[in-house]
Structure 1
Amino acid sequence: MKNFFERQDEARRNTTRLIVLFIAAVIGLVIAGYGVALAILMFMSEGGISPIQPGLFVLIVLGTVVIVGGGSAFKIIQLKQGGHVVAESLGGQPLDRNPSDYDEQVLRNVVEEMAIASGVPTPEVYVLDEDGINAFAAGYTVDDAVIGVTRGCMKQLNRAELQGVIAHEYSHILNGDMRLNIRLMGVLNGILLVAILGRTLLRATFYSSMGRRRSEDNKGQLIMIAAGVGLLVIGSVGLLSGRLIKSAVSRQREFLADAAAVQFTRNPQGIGGALKKIGGYESGSTIEHPKAEESSHLFFSDGVGSALFGGGAFATHPPLEERIQRIDSDFEGEQREAQSSASGGAGAAQAAGASGFAGDSSASSPSRSAPNADDVVSHTGDLTADDVDFGAKLRNAVPESLLDAAHEPLGATAIVYGLLLSPQTGSDNRTAQMDVLREHTTSEERDEVMRLLDDLHALPHRLRLPLLNITAPALRHRSADQRTALHDTAQALVRADDQLTVFEYALETVVRHRLDRIANPSSDRPRFKRFSQIQDDAVALLSMIAQAGAQTQREAAQAFEAGIGAFDDVSDPSAHQRTSAHPSQLDDALDRLAQTRPALKQQVLEACARCILDDDTVTDAEADLLMAVAEALDCPVPPFVLHADALSSS
């Protein structure tokens, strides 16, 4: 079974495949366009005309490139803003931050539990006012991902079935399918634009002809009608090509996402029940919005099925019955009637040193038995039912006051500041930090920090980064200036006492990375393939990690060698020496390491895990550090891997 990094590589190869298929589709449009244009010329010409028309061919090529290229470029630029553009284009509305509706509450809880379980920021949830049972995930990265859910999906499914659907969408988020799908939307928009232009031209010709006498410019109108019909014919070729491309890219990944949903929840009846209800429900999974076609490959189930595209090579999704049979081998075609329950469709729940860090050695926090580095790598970007159960437990352990605050932009900002404030009232550090708040924040923000401070300081350490995951949608709603102020203030709070703890660095790294992804959601920068290209960055990072978890220099040296030995190109770990790096240099190192190819990124993460786990124990500080590094590398590590016994040991 492929791991996260192999799936990321596969998704990138599929992007190359998409480009090849797109070029083939454009060639098909050129051929169809030339044929239609030649037929129109022959029809309108009084005399015979040669089928070989070089000038016409060049004109068709240029016209196709302009229309398709322009349409695709426009859509790609529009989609660079992130997944919310897709949700809003389908009429989606953001889920209320603190919903009073029972179904919406359960939906929010399920999404947040799975975000915590997978170690990713919570996606923003959009609700589509559609009766059909459907959902989708859209975005470039986990940081700008959104999940869209139809109201029919919320109302008609019980909690287990809803969880199965959301787990399916999380598989797309974790496996890199979203990036491929959103690129597919952009690329295919130019192909679909040809048919749109044909319809527009015919409509304009029809309305303009109503105000004219029949004797006026009949030939001109015929030319316009012929051109409109021709564009529609060419557009139909484009539409068929688009459907074939979507099918080639999407169908197999739907099977994989179904299987992942079963793995995530350990409940085949969840996603299987949802698919059966779609089959027996009057509205099925239909999305009525006029822009549903361009997003059809994103949906959980076929949202735009028709007699022309309902099956075969043109279907964006595998047949419903085949999906159910792969999940439930005993399925013989029975489908469930969807029924809303009195309480709502969600039903009841089922179940200091060389790196400059201060006060974060192994003695500063309780240690526990640890996994090995292979466990960390194999669990990256992957979930089990134990992970999901643990995510639910973590979320339920967060006080309600902090959960409510995490859903509001003001409260989310205050949580970031409050987590960085020293718990020692009256200490020099706390005094310096309060001076920072007075200088950099509004009175409203300071009041909110002080309101939440007692709960934040009482929060068990293992819940702090999961709480930060819950704040993600609210922080996305801050303006660009507010996000800049948030980063600058957080950095000033960390530097206020001229000392840097591991937790402070971890939290600042997570916040910096997420804010950068909000501003640049579509950035995709894999550049480095070999260890030699990132050697200095890897050495700086491993030096910091080794020192943070060691009590002696000997332990630090041993941990460093264990980490550096994870790289394929390192034959003699002792040949590499630890270095001291300023936090800003570590930030630069992480930024470069995030630009490595998936295979090399796997070695980076394994090296960090080996370094931390060399002594077979993991502290809270080390767990925080590994989670922050994984976040910066875009390699989500489920907290259950490092905190499996955390709740029972508290």
Structure 2
Amino acid sequence: MMRILLFLGTNLAVILVASITLRLLGVEGYLRGQGLNFNALLIFCFIVGMAGSMISLFISKWMAKRSTGTVVIETPGNATEKWLLDTVEELSREAGIKTPEVGIFPAQQSNAFATGWNRNDALVAVSAGLLNRMRPEEVRAVLAHEIGHVANGDMVTLALIQGVVNTFVMFFARAIAHLVDNFLRARNDGAGLGFMGYFAVVIVAEIVFGIIASAIVAWFSRFREYRADAAGAQLAGTSAMIGALSRLKAETEMPDQMPETLTAFAITTGQTRKIMERLFASHPPLDDRIRALKEAGYR
């Protein structure tokens, strides 16, 4: 459950803060009046809901660097760092994008992530553990996978999907609060939820709908992992991509040091076995990803 809540990340926090602020300022009052104006409510929810997602997107690189301790390679300090920069530059050129920033974060687990607000202003980072234990061709495949995320515009698409989901979470939360308020008014001679009651119902409903809606976002996140694997196979070779995923599978028992808020951008979050974990997982099981690459027959 904690993974589900954290997956919503910054955008849900922005929604809650915005809801509290706008409610206290009385901005939502015009949406109620004698009845609920659904058109006005939908526009209001779209603006606030999309704002949360866009804020998360625009500060994604800053958040990633701070939360993972990623050190961006400005000038290579050794042969490994130079190889990383050269490899990312080569893969980016083949993918048709501007070379992202390249960084290393101090985690012993083999992992990597890509983030950024657009395909020409991104960050690709790998863990120190990945560099220490993977062969160069496997590291190159991991980098190709992350470049695939960037080239496919996954960060922007995920933010837009999250924004739409946020919109409907806010919309249905307020619609339910309005219905409950009307029901109580009819039963109690005009005494409805009141200020705090209405506010409490909205917040609780937003959390509940947010958890449910996160399954939709998680499904898209899993879908894009297959696409990024395919991009990695095309850029670095299928055998190297399968080798990298197999190596990651062998390390799934190690403690996961990736911040929960960045799991959707990592190359792996380990193996998920429980049904609920699979439903809300940001990544498909590694066995399924390896099988998909073998069946696709990339060279």
**1:122 shift after superposition:** 1.4
**1:141 shift after superposition:** 3.7
SS at match of 1:318: coil
SS at match of 2:68: coil
Partner of 1:251: 222
Equivalent in 241, 249, 271 of residue 279 of structure 1: 249
Give the direction of change, closer, same or farther, for the CA distance of 1:79–1:325 in structure 2 (3 Å limit): closer
Q: Deviations over 1:529-563 (max 9, x none)?
A: xxxxxxxxxxxxxxxxxxxxxxxxxxxxxxxxxxx
Give the direction of change, closer, same or farther, for the CA distance of 1:232–1:126 in structure 2 (3 Å limit): farther
Give the direction of change, closer, same or farther, for the CA distance of 1:191–1:87 in structure 2 (3 Å limit): farther
Question: How many aligned residue pairs are there?
Answer: 243
* 1:128 counterpart letter in structure 2: F
Equivalent in 302, 310, 314 of residue 277 of structure 2: 310
Give unpaired runs (5+ residues) of structure 2. Answer: 1-31, 172-194
Equivalent in 127, 130, 133 of residue 156 of structure 1: 133
Determine the C-alpha separation between the residues in 2 that align with 1:192 and 1:286: 30
Q: Does 1:261 align with 2:232?
A: yes
Equivalent in 48, 54, 60 of residue 76 of structure 1: 54
SS at match of 1:311: helix
The answer as to whether partners of 2:57 and 2:155 remain within 8 angstroms in 1 is no
SS at match of 1:165: helix
**1:321 shift after superposition:** 0.8
Q: Does 1:91 align with 2:57?
A: no
Partner of 1:326: 292
SS at match of 2:277: coil
Equivalent in 210, 218, 227 of residue 238 of structure 1: 210
User: What does 1:289-308 correspond to in 2, within 5 Å?
Assistant: 289-292=259-262, 296-302=263-269, 307=274
Q: Percent identity, aligned pairs only?
A: 26
**1:302 shift after superposition:** 3.2
Equivalent in 116, 139, 144 of residue 139 of structure 1: 116
**1:327 shift after superposition:** 2.8
Give the direction of change, closer, same or farther, for the CA distance of 1:182–1:55 in structure 2 (3 Å limit): closer
**1:135 shift after superposition:** 2.3
Partner of 2:15: none
The answer as to whether partners of 1:87 and 1:148 remain within 8 angstroms in 2 is no
The answer as to whether partners of 1:136 and 1:299 remain within 8 angstroms in 2 is yes
**1:123 shift after superposition:** 0.6
**1:148 shift after superposition:** 2.8
The answer as to whether partners of 1:124 and 1:146 remain within 8 angstroms in 2 is yes
Give the direction of change, closer, same or farther, for the CA distance of 1:164–1:183 in structure 2 (3 Å limit): same
User: What does 1:169-568 correspond to in 2, within 5 Å?
Assistant: 169-184=146-161, 231-232=203-204, 234-247=206-219, 249-266=220-237, 268-282=238-252, 286-292=256-262, 296-302=263-269, 307=274, 309-312=276-279, 314-328=280-294
**1:281 shift after superposition:** 1.1
**1:289 shift after superposition:** 1.8
The answer as to whether partners of 1:138 and 1:178 remain within 8 angstroms in 2 is yes
Q: Please tell me the root mean square deviation across aligned C-alpha atoms, in Å.
A: 4.2
> Which structure is higher in helix share?
2
User: What does 1:104-115 correspond to in 2, within 5 Å?
Assistant: 104-115=81-92
SS at match of 1:125: strand
Structure of greater Rg:
1
Give unpaired runs (5+ residues) of structure 1. Answer: 1-53, 195-222, 330-383, 386-650
SS at match of 1:132: coil
Give the direction of change, closer, same or farther, for the CA distance of 1:305–1:126 in structure 2 (3 Å limit): farther
Give the direction of change, closer, same or farther, for the CA distance of 1:79–1:328 in structure 2 (3 Å limit): closer
Determine the C-alpha separation between the residues in 2 that align with 1:66 and 1:304: 39
Partner of 1:512: none
The answer as to whether partners of 2:134 and 2:244 remain within 8 angstroms in 1 is yes
Give the direction of change, closer, same or farther, for the CA distance of 1:240–1:259 in structure 2 (3 Å limit): same
